[in-house]
Amino acid sequence: MSAFAAAFFSLGNLVNVALSIAVIGILGVGMTAVILIGGIDLSAGSGVALAGVVAALAAHAVGGDAAGGSLAAAGAAVVAALAVGAIGGGITGLAVSRLRAPSFLVTLALLSIERGLAFLFSSGQAVSDLPAGFNWLGQGILLGVPVPVWLTAACFGGGWFVLSRTVWGRWIYALGGNESAAWLAGIDTRAVALGTYVANGVLVGLAAVVLTARLGAAVPNAGVGYELDVIAAVVVGGTSLTGGRGNVLGTLAGAVCIGILDNALNLANVDPYLQRVVAGVVILLAVLGERIRSRAHA
């Protein structure tokens, strides 16, 4: 990459890369868990938009503005975003675990519903003038590192711990590996599925907080295509789309890989349309590689 873009290894550019993958990285942690249980979430981008709009409206309702606002306004915005994400995840989890509905179809429906609600609640306009305390979560610097990078690192650290060091994590892998066997082993598979989707929804809400705070406004068309970028990062990181195999560290590597690729192509002034072609080729190669590995392990 540095051969095509001389500024690639500059500190400022590396910080830009870290910031560019913050939202996708946070979403990737939840998506990894969802895919590990054999599910999918196509509504992540729309969920980010809806949670961001609700967060901004909640801040205004409490009385926050860009001139400062109260900590209560910033707190209300964060809680509102997390709650909206959790509700969306809960709806998907209930439909999948209780009604046995395909997660693909449920989240495809939510993709449209949540995007529509985002435009409806915001009247199709950006909601700006947010509390300074809230904007700090997307624009602030802590110990010389942007706050979104800290939040992303915390999510990956927490995700790694849950999946690799807790009973719940083992249940997730068991459910994705063989649901019938997991149920026969005494695992409450419906509770695991529901909990996984709710946790994914909370991370969607957190991603909405970071994105909205970075922009300084909630935009109803934010997050378009994010679900595809997130799934790409998870797959490039080696998580099997059939469930039961993968980890968040691989997703981090996948997100970094895609972020570096996009960044380097931008620095090299590659045609934006060609950039999408290159990104698609990388994703296709990753999927084919995953299938080859799966056959080798079979």
219 has pLDDT over 80: yes
Of 165, 148, 180, the C-alpha closest to 247 is 165
Each residue of 245-261: pLDDT tens digit?
899 999 999 999 888 88
Each residue of 21-47: pLDDT tens digit?
999 999 999 999 999 999 999 999 999
Query: What amino acid occupies position 142?
Result: L
Per-residue pLDDT, 280: 80
Each residue of 92-102: pLDDT tens digit?
999 999 999 99
Per-residue pLDDT, 46: 95
Q: Which residues partner with 142 through β-bridges?
A: 145
Per-residue pLDDT, 238: 85
Mean pLDDT score of the chain? 89
Each residue of 259-277: pLDDT tens digit?
888 887 887 777 888 877 8
In contact, 204 and 196? CB cutoff 8 Å: no
How large is the C-alpha radius of gyration of the chain? 19
Half-sphere exposure of 230 (CA within 13 A, CB side): 32
Q: Can you tell me the distance from the alpha carbon of 164 to that of 36, in angstroms, rounded to the nearest whole number?
A: 12
Q: Can you tell me the distance from the alpha carbon of 122 to that of 258, in angstroms, rounded to the nearest whole number?
A: 32
In contact, 208 and 52? CB cutoff 8 Å: yes
Per-residue pLDDT, 64: 55
Per-residue pLDDT band at 194 (split at 50, 70, 90): very high
Q: Kindly give the residue spans of alpha helices, DSSP state H, lying in 101-186.
A: 103-122, 132-139, 147-165, 167-177, 179-184
At 8, give phi and psi (nearest 5°).
Answer: -60, -45
**Mapping DSSP to helix (H, G, I), strand (E, B) and coil, where does residue 145 land?**
strand
Per-residue pLDDT band at 297 (split at 50, 70, 90): low
66 has pLDDT over 60: no
Task: Quote the DSSP letter at residue 241.
Answer: T
Average pLDDT over residues 273-296: 77
Here the tokens at position 49 are 């938009």
Greater pLDDT, 16 or 279 = 16
Average pLDDT over residues 65-79: 76
55 has pLDDT over 90: yes
65 has pLDDT over 90: no
Per-residue pLDDT, 116: 95
Q: Where are the domains of the chain?
A: 22-223
Q: Can you tell me the distance from the alpha carbon of 153 to that of 34, in angstroms, rounded to the nearest whole number?
A: 19
Length of the chain (residues): 298
Per-residue pLDDT, 196: 96
5 has pLDDT over 80: no
Taking CB atoms within 8 Å and a gap of at least 24, the contacts of 145-148 are 146/15, 146/18, 146/19, 146/22, 148/19, 148/22, 148/23, 148/210, 148/214
